Amino acid sequence: MKSIQFTDTKTGEEIHIAYSSYGNGQPVILIHGWPLSREMWEYQLADLVNAGHRVIKYDRRGFGKSSKPWKGYDYDSLTGDLHELMVKLDLKDAILVGFSMGGGEVVRYISKYGEERIAGIVLISSVVPFFLKTAGNTEGVDAEVFDEMIKGIQNDRMGYLDEFGKKFFGAGFLNKPVSTPLLNYYLQLGSKASQQSTIECIKSFSATDFRNDVDKISVPTLIIHGDSDKIVPFEVSSKRTAGMIPHAELVVYDGAPHGLFYTHRELLNRDLLNFISGKKHEEPRPEDMPVTSVF
């Protein structure tokens, strides 16, 4: 297992961030969502590497095979981990790709560390710009939603994540975009996190205001979201972010759930490769659309 090691400047703890690196060429850094790990990118990896890119994916602290400290799950700390990875691997002209919670690290990275190493960014099903409803953010989601998530994790983490996974991929009685074994696999990825990191990251991705961070983005930006996302609704997230970044390209996948990295993987991979090569989104043909079982 590859990893980088450094000392957390706030806690003094030694932190290990596990990562994988494949291929050569322009670096593409894949940042996973909650509550998964870098392994969620399995269905993007081959297309990106085979297209001539160096692909780096890593486990956020508290998840996968990275260190699981008790503290340090605020976005400044999480983004500091990303910066350590960028510096230690000397990554330049990079494309940052953040899914869901990972979108926060992407925009906070630019806000804190600038765009010197960054050629472009992709936000997929992202929590940006501000998830939580407050007096100054009336378009957000009620705090009770996140409180219930935390209670579910405290009471029965595996049971809660099992049900969460079905909603994550839009699975129901008649709609089965993901097989039961694959749902179980993603549940196992989530199980590798600690209860503490799982809960603390709910607090971070719900309550962190990224609106000022978004204002600092000037590199090419692609925003992708599904209009059937029941985890991070499009209207409170990517729709707003696209309006805050005038040069951003917004792509909305018809009928796509939150976990579109699997359900709409062919469309996503094509959009990623087109964006990296400077091309615009191509409207999908009927045969490109995912087919789900009704049995």
- For 235-253, how does the pLDDT look when each residue is reduced to its tens digit (9 = 90+)? 999 999 999 999 999 999 9
pTM of the complete model: 0.95
Q: Are 239 and 260 in contact (CB under 8 A)?
A: no
Enter the tokens of residue 92: 């330049």
Q: Which residue has the tokens 């291929």?
A: 23
pLDDT interval class at 293 (50, 70, 90)? very low
Q: What is the pLDDT of residues 15-50, one digit of tens each?
A: 999 999 999 999 999 999 999 999 999 999 999 999
Residues serving a catalytic function are 100, 229, 258
Residue 117 main-chain phi, psi, to 5 deg: -95, 0
Neighbours of 288 (CB within 10 A): 12
